Chains A and B, each alone.
Chain A
Amino acid sequence: MTEKKKTQLNILFSVIALLVCAGILYYVNHYTKPTFMLRTVLQLGAIYALVAVSMNLLNGFTGLFSLGQAGFMAVGAYAFAIFTIPAKSRPGVYYLYGVADWLSNLQVPIWAGLVLAGLVAAILAAIIGAPVLRLKSDYFAIATLGFAEIVRIIVGSSPMNRITNGSLGLKMIPKFPNFYFPFVVVGICILIISLLIRSSYGRAFKAIREDEIAAEAMGINLAKHKQLSFIISSFFAGIGGALMGMYLGAITSSTFNIPLTYNILLIVVIGGMGSVTGSILSSFLVIAAREWWLRFLDMETFIGGFKVPLLKSGFRMVVFSIILMLVVLFFRRGIMGMREFNWNFILKRLGKKKNAGGEGCE
């Protein structure tokens, strides 16, 4: 098979796969009950996929180990909620503290709210990025973690009562206008990130990840590229946070706590640091396992009058974290490692089988 043919086949298969995915979504939307678990899994999985890819851009591609994702999601979600909660339901939301005057009649369309959410997160990233990015590996991690906590505490604190509704959180956030909405938004965002990774900027990011000093010697402006990666990652984390707000309908500052960042990090690690497709695959797998397939572990089960040992509320998360530790310890590269998914591998397998059956595939 020639390279060109391979590429063509790859594109063909990808298009078919996308159509199949769209078909599945259409089927799930029209032929399943609204309470069906797969709907939740697909929507939540898509949101996590976006956040995981945005974290991967920073951690996997640029080599900056950030633990601030939940903070940027919180900023995005709050910004989105503040700009889009319908003006007429505002008095109900802010019933205790009242709403700030400049906010009371503010309402923008959902798409504008999403962009604003991203922008606010990105601006914040630009402000804190300048000092924090000077720190090295673990110090950077702990500083971003600290920053995420600061954001969380400030949005939930009493001086912000008239803007963020303090510890009560915000509700009546607009829901997804239709079933496909999150998939379209996430698809566009991930497409932009993958295009960025394939551009000269993306190659610069990877060079920084491999060796900062060598990258600098090759003429890459370290500060500028790190800043860029940080801002872009935060922009998409903000959009991810906004989608999370839409999905949940109500947010409080404790929605975006440190375990959320850990969850996203674990998705990135399972998928493979430095692989966009890996992150996407693993977020759907992890969410499906956590929300759906492993649910039975939380139920007390009796088989023939015999109580199955260990099963009770909370066991699911224990099993889940054991799986995770096994991945971290023994499959350090995750599902995809640093590679991207492509069909050549599967084609090769098929080709071999065909060859064995006496048919050439050339």
Chain B
Amino acid sequence: MTANAFLQYCLTGISIGGIYALIAIGYTMVYGILRLINFAHGDIFMMAAYFMIFSMVNFTLPWYVSIIIVIGATIVLGVVIEKLAYKPLRSAPRMSIMISAIGVSYFLQNVATYLFSALPKPYPTIGFLTKTITIGGISTSVVTFITPILTLGFVFILMQLINHTKIGMAMRAVSKDFETSQLMGIKINRVISFTFVIGCFLAAIGSILFFTPRPSVYPLAGSLPGLKCFIAAVFGGIGSIPGAVLGGFIIGLSETFIKAAGYSEFSDVFTFILLIVILLIKPTGLFGEKITEKV
């Protein structure tokens, strides 16, 4: 492998890793607060892609309007799902709420198949994102280049939000102890909705960045990336945002290099093996907090 090719793969890996990181944040934040694996998150990500097709192809809106519509619609979708499917089960056993999340995922996939048919649909091209640029001998599209920058920017803003604002403090409190924070006068439902807003916002951005260099969208397009991002979140320690970002980058990079080495069939196998290994060696992930079990 030449140095140039190596750098090229690094860039691709970091780019895909950045997208995984954006989606993994959605998983990790919801898990941190609700202790729920939001199985529907990958499908929200898929729906965001269809929203884009809808607004750019069916309504022929310009891309800058479409991006705003996509973000808005995805956030509304996420919050509605939370209100309808997760809120009624707040006091139910954890298994029920997980089943509800699986049900939502199943529902979204079927709705997408119904509305948009199971055939892959071409994703609209956003002019300036698909331009090719050449930096120091590596030629790549703009989207590959700006993805990691955007990711790190959003993560920085998010960390500021969580560490230095009132709602951020409330979120930290709720994730530490659900009931006590309620007693302290934190409006739990508002905090949870806000978590979903952030998660879906990042999923919408991730969806635009993920599908732009890819040819098409189909109703099951969200389930595998969704699972990988969840693995990224687990790898970094679920509940921890820097962990999710690091996990995303590691999975993106390793996947790209495995593909480059000619084992593209096994790149997903590797990801899942990574998950099982990390769960066995360090179940709380790289940055996860240790949970002590009380009798």
Query: Which residue numbers of A lie inside 8 Å of B, CB to CB?
Result: 59, 65, 131-132, 134-139, 141-143, 145-147, 149-150, 153-154, 157-158, 213, 258-259, 262, 265-266, 269, 273, 312-315, 317-318, 320-322, 324-325, 328-329, 332
Contact = CB atoms under 8 A, between A and B. Distances in A.
Contacts of B272: 146-147, 149-150
A147 B277 CA distance: 12
A315 B234 contact: no
B269 interface: yes
Q: Is the interface of A mostly helix, strand, loop or mixed?
A: helix
Given A139-B279, A328-B96, A317 B114 contact: yes
Contact of B98 (A65, A157, A158): A65
Interface in B58-88: 85, 88
For B37, B104, B276, the residue with the greatest tally of chain A CB atoms inside 10 Å of its CB is: B276
Contacts of A149: 227, 268-269, 272
A145 B268 contact: no
9 contacts: A142-B275, A147-B272, A157-B266, A258-B223, A262-B105, A265-B102, A318-B107, A318-B111, A332-B89
A158 B265 contact: yes
A321 B92 CA distance: 21
Given A138-B37, A153-B268, A318-B111, A266 B275 contact: no
B109 A259 contact: yes
A135 B285 CA distance: 13
Contacts of A59: 95
Nearest to B230: A142
A42 B36 CA distance: 36
Contacts of A320: 110
Contacts of A318: 107, 110-111, 114
A75 B78 CA distance: 36
B276 A146 contact: yes
Q: Is the interface of B mostly helix, strand, loop or mixed?
A: helix
Chain B contact patch, size range: 35 or more
B215 interface: no
B99 A265 contact: yes
B295 interface: yes
Contacts of B85: 325, 329
Given A325-B103, A328-B100, A146 B110 contact: no
A158 B265 CA distance: 8
Those 8 A-B pairs whose CB atoms lie nearest each other, nearest first: A314-B114, A146-B272, A317-B110, A321-B107, A157-B265, A314-B113, A321-B110, A325-B103
B283 interface: yes
B94 interface: yes
A315 B114 contact: yes
A140 to B, nearest CB: 9
B103 A321 contact: yes
Contacts of B98: 65, 138, 141
B279 A324 contact: no
A266 B103 contact: yes
B16 interface: no
Contacts of A258: 223
A134 B275 CA distance: 14
Contact of B88 (A313, A322, A329): A329
Interface in B100-134: 100, 102-107, 109-111, 113-114, 117-118
Contact of A146 (B37, B102, B106, B231): B231
Nearest to A145: B227
A57 B84 CA distance: 30
B95 A65 contact: yes
B229 to A, nearest CB: 12
A325 B107 contact: yes
Interface in B243-278: 265-266, 268-269, 272-273, 275-276
Contact of B96 (A146, A158, A332): A332
